[in-house]
Structure 1
Amino acid sequence: MRALGATFPPDSLPYITLTSVLSQLGVEPTFMVLPLCPSCLEVFPGTTSSTSRCSRCDTPLFYSRRRLDRRTSGPETRRPAVQFPMKSIESQLRDILEVPGMEDELELWRQKPRTPGKLTDNFDGEVCKTLPAPDGSRFFENPPRHQELRIGLTLGADWFSYLRSHISPSHSSGPISFNVINFKEHLRFITISY
C-alpha cells in the first residue's frame, strides 16, 4: 500500500479488511459485494435480503454487527457472513474504454507486421484468423470492413486442490483471469474472479 502512495502512522496496526484499506486510500469501490454462504460457499445476488438463509444448506447468510460509525443512526447493521467482491467483465471493459486513447491502443495490433508461419501473438493463430463475426466476416479482419471496435479476451484458470491447501482444507479454489489480447503485452489488463 505504501508503494501506491498511502501513508500510515509508524505505530499503527496494519489494515486487515478491504473496507479499511479503501477508506485509508480514499478510493470509492466500483464493484459489487455479493453474499456467500459460509458453509457451502454458494454465491447469492447482491439484492438478497439480509434475513435470508442459504437455499442449499439453510445457513444464515448475514450476521448482525454493532454499528461503529457515530454519523449514522441505528445500533446494528446486517452484513454478509462472507463477502464476495465482484466486478463484471462488461463494467471493467467500460472502465478501460473511458480512458482517453484506449480505443487507439486496442487497434494497434492491426499495424504490427505479420510473417506467415511465424507466431508472435494471438492474432497470428488460427483462432483469430478464422473466428466468424455475426455478419459472416472474420471477427478480427484486417483491414476491417466495419466501423466497430472488436476486442478479444482470453481465459486462464489455475486451480488449487483442497488436498494441498492450508488456506481452504475442505474446498478447492483458484483464480480465473481474462486478458485483453488487443493490447501490447506490457499493457494487457487482467480481470480476476475466484
Structure 2
Amino acid sequence: HPNWCVLCVYYLVAFLHTKHRTTFRACALILICLAFLLSSIAGNLVGDVKMPRTLTTIWSKLGIKDEFAVHPVCSGCHRIFSPDTGPKSFCPNCEEEVFGPPIEMTDLVDLLLEENVEKPPPKPQPNLVAPIQLLSEGLRGFFKRPGMVSAVNAWKDTKDDPNGDFRRIQDGEAWKTIKGPDGTSFFSGPGSEKEIRLGVSFGFDWYV
C-alpha cells in the first residue's frame, strides 16, 4: 500500500487476529476507530485513502488466503456437505435445514459498518460449519517450505540411544516393525532411501 500509515494498520490487525485470536468483529471495531482517529488528527495521516473496515478486506489487501475450505455441516447429525451446497438444502439423513436465515444487523459494529448505499440482501448462512483441509493439500503446502525435505529425513542420521531409552517416536516398536508394500520395514527398508515416507497419526475427540 502506498500509504505507510494504512499499511501499518493492515499488519497490526492481521497480527492481533493470528497471534492473539482477536475476533472478526473486534478487528472491525479497531479498524473503524483507527480510521476515525487517523483522519481526525493534525495532518490527516490517511488523506483521501479509504481505510478498510473488515478483517476480510485486510486478508484481501495483503494477499493472505485460507489454507482450508469451509464446509456446511448438518446441526442434527453432523453430516458434512460440499462448500458449494445451495442455501435451500436439507440433510438427507435427518431432514434438518443446512442453512439458517440471513444474519441481521444487531450490534454496534454492524451499525458502524453500515453505509448509506444500497446493498444486496444478506445471504443465508449455514447453521454449522467446519474448516477442512485435505491431507494431500496440507502436505503440498508443507513441502513448499524451504528445508522441509531435509527436516523429515533428519531422523535417519540420528542413532538410537545406547541405553535403549525412548527419546523420539522413531525409538518405538511400531516405527521399526511396521511393514511396507514390499514386506520390509516401511520407514527403514531398502525403498526408503529413494523416497520420503511419512507416518500420519489421526486423533479423534468423541463427545455425546
TM-score (norm 1): 0.63
Q: Which has the higher strand share?
A: 1
Determine if contact 2:103/2:125 at 8 Å carries over to the other structure: no
Residue equivalent to 1:62: 99
Is the alpha carbon distance of 1:55 and 1:145 closer, same or farther for their aligned partners in structure 2, counting shifts above 3 Å?
Answer: closer
Q: Which has the higher helix share?
A: 2
Residue equivalent to 1:111: 157
**Uncovered stretches (5+) of structure 2, i.e. residues with no partner:** 1-10, 18-23, 29-53, 105-112
Matched AA of 2:85: T
User: For each residue in 1:73-92, what CA deviation from the matched residue of structure 2 results, as whole angstroms up to 9, or x when unmatched?
Assistant: 74342432211111122211
- Where in structure 2 are the equivalents of 1:1-194 lying within 5 Å? 5-6=15-16, 14-15=26-27, 21=55, 23-25=57-59, 26=62, 27-65=64-102, 74-115=120-161, 117-141=164-188, 146-159=193-206, 161=207, 172=208
Aligned counterparts of 1:61 and 1:114: Cα–Cα separation in 2:
53
Determine if contact 1:66/1:76 at 8 Å carries over to the other structure: yes
Q: 1:36 Cα deviation (Å)?
A: 1.1
User: For each residue in 1:34-58, what CA deviation from the matched residue of structure 2 results, as whole angstroms up to 9, or x when unmatched?
Assistant: 1112333332232433221112222
Q: 1:126 Cα deviation (Å)?
A: 1.0
Aligned counterparts of 2:191 and 2:157: Cα–Cα separation in 1:
12
Is the alpha carbon distance of 1:126 and 1:86 closer, same or farther for their aligned partners in structure 2, counting shifts above 3 Å?
Answer: same
Determine if contact 1:6/1:24 at 8 Å carries over to the other structure: no
Determine if contact 2:14/2:55 at 8 Å carries over to the other structure: no
TM-score (norm 2): 0.59
Determine if contact 2:13/2:55 at 8 Å carries over to the other structure: no
The structure number with the bigger radius of gyration is 2
Is the alpha carbon distance of 1:41 and 1:98 closer, same or farther for their aligned partners in structure 2, counting shifts above 3 Å?
Answer: same
Determine if contact 1:110/1:142 at 8 Å carries over to the other structure: no
Q: 1:60 Cα deviation (Å)?
A: 1.4
Deviates more, 1:147-156 or 1:127-136: 147-156
Q: 1:105 Cα deviation (Å)?
A: 0.5
Aligned counterparts of 1:145 and 1:6: Cα–Cα separation in 2:
43
Determine if contact 1:35/1:80 at 8 Å carries over to the other structure: yes
RMSD value, Cα: 3.7
Percent identity among equivalent residues? 26
Aligned counterparts of 2:166 and 2:136: Cα–Cα separation in 1:
29
Residue equivalent to 1:192: none
Aligned counterparts of 1:13 and 1:128: Cα–Cα separation in 2:
46
Matched AA of 2:102: R
Determine if contact 1:35/1:45 at 8 Å carries over to the other structure: yes
